[in-house]
Amino acid sequence: MDKDYIELNAFVKIKGFASTGGQAKVIIRSGAIKVNEIVETRNKKKLREGDVVEYVGKRFIVSLKNE
């Protein structure tokens, strides 16, 4: 990946939490996702290498090399 970040909505789709952008938006806006232990409701929140995303009790570490 060329960028030094990925937006939360794209991360949600890549990880398979949602299959569409609309579904990703609903999940994020519902407050179901935490970024670095803080509830995040912004779709375009920039995630950087090493950030921790938590959804339904599972934790994912952002690695931009694999995204």
Residue 51 sits in a domain whose CATH number is: 3.10.290.10
Identify the pLDDT of residue 67. 47
Whether residue 5 is predicted with pLDDT greater than 80 in this model: the reply is yes
**Helices H, strands E: what count in the chain?**
2, 6
Write out the two tokens for 43.
């779709």
SS3 breakdown of the chain: % helix, strand, coil, rounded to 5?
25, 25, 50
Listed residue (67, 52, 59) closest to 13, CA to CA: 67
Identify the pLDDT of residue 3. 80
Identify the pLDDT of residue 40. 98
Look at residue 1 and tell me if it is in a domain. no
pLDDT in tens, 22-60: 999 999 999 999 999 999 999 999 999 999 999 999 999
H helices of the chain, in order, are 8-14, 21-29
> What is the domain range of residue 16?
6-61
Domains contained in the chain, number: 1
